[in-house]
Amino acid sequence: MNILIQIIILMIALEIIEANFQKAPTIGGMIGRLYGYYHKSVFLLFLAHPTLYFVLFISIATNILNIYIILIILIKVFDIFFKIEMIQQIYIRKKIDNQLLPILDMPITPLMSYMGLLIYVPLLILGLFNQ
């Protein structure tokens, strides 16, 4: 039981770090910040999402793979690929869909910045305790 609490605390810490890597006033600002990582190295962009690797490690180390762990991994992977697609449309191809333009100016509230804490940590708790 003690190790599970440590895993949850580490997940919370990594989620806060990840949120601070991506923190910006707007979604466009967040994509721009992530482009800075992407421009240096695509691997740096992937390293800006440490909780994905942490959940993969926990899943392998504990031999737990249930719907909650799969949901975390799927949501994280789709999130990363969506951000990469936005980076490519805005900064590489310089042609963005008209439907996505209003999203770029959308402000990110502090609650939205730390939404991962409200989504991924409870899913991890459910995944660890519902074996």
Read off the pLDDT of residues 54-85 as tens digits, 9 standing for 90 and up: 999 999 999 999 999 999 999 999 999 999 99
Q: Which residues contact 23 (CB under 8 A, 6 or more apart)?
A: 30, 33, 108, 113
**Would you say the pTM of this structure is higher than 0.85?**
yes
Instruction: Give the mean model confidence (pLDDT) for residues 96-103.
Output: 84
Record the tokens describing residue 42, joined without a space: 């695509």
Record the tokens describing residue 65, joined without a space: 């793979």
Phi, psi of 88 (to 5 degrees): -65, -40
Record the tokens describing residue 32, joined without a space: 């721009």
Q: What type of residue is 62?
A: T
Residue 101 confidence (pLDDT) = 85
Domain enclosing residue 15, as ranges: 2-129
Q: Which residues contact 26 (CB under 8 A, 6 or more apart)?
A: 104, 105, 106, 107, 108
The total domain count for the chain is: 1
